[in-house]
């Protein structure tokens, strides 16, 4: 029995009703021709805050009891989870502090502040930031909300699966960007509850594909984090992973990886063929099709998970520059 069931995801859908955007799906003639099956893009980078992370964060904040809401929430993410959490907390009138080190670039600090969170800059490492979070939890009774390994986060992300089934009822395969596995766990739980024959394929970058390596090892292991264009997919799944490892192992049919060049190619393709500005992590599902990393047999949904990319970097990529972030300081 999975930690998150279809009824948890239905409950999340009701809780989120009217609070988030129903993101559109759009058929992709060029990817359909390439794959030989109809391919539809789920444009979740058009979600408020630029990624699906808002779904889980909103569901988690709304699920707090009144004492927890009173004390507020904390997080350490400076990326899409941080943005989602900041926005979700603000909407619910809940105090939110995101802790980060002095080394976090100013544009990321500004991105979090713009969503209405308090930013607390502590020390010179992620560990220092984590220490401050632990202190806020212990002394001020704030609730730490993690980016993926949490039932309410997983259930919230799963609502995108319900939407996909409604928007593309004949879907046979869903390609899903994969990092810690909150998105794919929720999405797969929703899709398979409705139709167990739907294939769920996780896509990660070759450089630091944490869940992919853990599945191969049969347990959560340490996987080295590396520079990649898919920066929102970086980081491990946690050696003490409670939910997403087991759910991904039990519900996901296959995981594949894509190269840095394939990610850049997918960002380029999205811009020139689909007129979409997407980040590297959001593009790996498209990269898997363009790079022939998957065999597709019927109508396929390509989950485009986020759009928060540095626009200078985006410009260099779509202009055809041979961008290699792995060599940049």
Ligand X SMILES: *Cc1c(COP(=O)(O)O)cnc(C)c1O
By CB under 6 A, name the binding residues for ligand X.
Answer: 51, 53, 80, 148, 177-184, 232-233, 279, 281-282, 305-306
Cβ at position 239, least distance to ligand X in Å:
16
Nearer to ligand X, 178 or 256 (CB): 178
- Around 271, how many Cα atoms within 13 Å sit in the side-chain half-sphere? 20
Nearer to ligand X, 69 or 159 (CB): 159
Nearer to ligand X, 38 or 164 (CB): 164
Beta strands in 68-155 (DSSP E): 73-75, 96-100, 118-121, 143-144
Cβ at position 51, least distance to ligand X in Å:
5
Taking CB atoms, the residue at the shortest distance from ligand X is 306
The Cα–Cα gap between 303 and 280 comes to 13
Nearer to ligand X, 38 or 44 (CB): 44
Cβ at position 149, least distance to ligand X in Å:
9
Cβ at position 77, least distance to ligand X in Å:
9
CA of 259: how far to CAs of 35, 202, 283, 307, in Å?
Answer: 19, 15, 12, 19
Cβ at position 105, least distance to ligand X in Å:
17
Nearer to ligand X, 96 or 183 (CB): 183
Instruction: Let me know if 24 is exposed, middle or buried by CB neighbors in 10 A (0-12, 13-18, 19+).
Output: exposed
The Cα–Cα gap between 102 and 120 comes to 10
- Helix then strand count (H, E) for the chain reads 14, 10
């Amino acid at each position: 029995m999975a930690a998150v069931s279809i009824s948890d995801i239905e409950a999340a859908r009701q809780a989120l009703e009217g609070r988030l955007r129903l993101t559109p799906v759009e058929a992709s003639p060029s990817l359909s021709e390439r794959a030989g099956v109809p391919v539809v893009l789920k444009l979740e980078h058009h979600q408020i805050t630029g990624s699906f992370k808002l779904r889980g964060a909103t569901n988690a904040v709304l699920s707090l009891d009144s004492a927890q809401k009173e004390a507020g929430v904390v997080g350490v993410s400076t990326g899409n989870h941080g943005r989602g959490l900041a926005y979700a907390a603000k909407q619910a009138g809940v105090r939110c502090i995101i802790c980060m080190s002095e080394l976090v670039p100013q544009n990321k600090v500004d991105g979090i502040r713009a969503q209405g969170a308090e930013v607390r800059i502590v020390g010179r490492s992620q560990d220092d930031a984590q220490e401050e979070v632990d202190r806020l939890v212990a002394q001020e009774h704030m609730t730490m909300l993690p980016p993926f390994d949490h039932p309410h986060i997983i259930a919230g992300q799963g609502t995108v699966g319900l939407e996909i089934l409604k928007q593309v009822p004949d879907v046979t395969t869903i390609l899903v960007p994969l990092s810690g596995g909150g998105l794919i766990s929720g999405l797969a739980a929703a899709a398979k509850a409705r139709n167990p024959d739907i294939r769920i394929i996780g896509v990660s970058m070759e450089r630091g594909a944490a869940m992919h390596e853990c599945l191969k090892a049969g347990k959560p292991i340490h996987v080295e984090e590396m520079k990649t264009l898919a920066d929102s997919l970086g980081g491990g799944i946690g050696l003490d992973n409670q939910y997403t490892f087991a759910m991904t192992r039990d519900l996901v049919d296959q995981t594949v990886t894509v190269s840095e060049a394939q990610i850049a190619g997918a960002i380029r393709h999205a811009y020139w063929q689909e007129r979409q500005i997407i980040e590297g992590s959001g593009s790996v599902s498209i990269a898997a099709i363009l790079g022939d990393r998957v065999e597709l047999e019927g109508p396929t949904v390509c989950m485009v998970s986020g759009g928060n990319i540095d626009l200078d970097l985006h410009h260099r990529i779509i202009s055809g520059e041979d961008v290699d972030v792995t060599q940049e300081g």
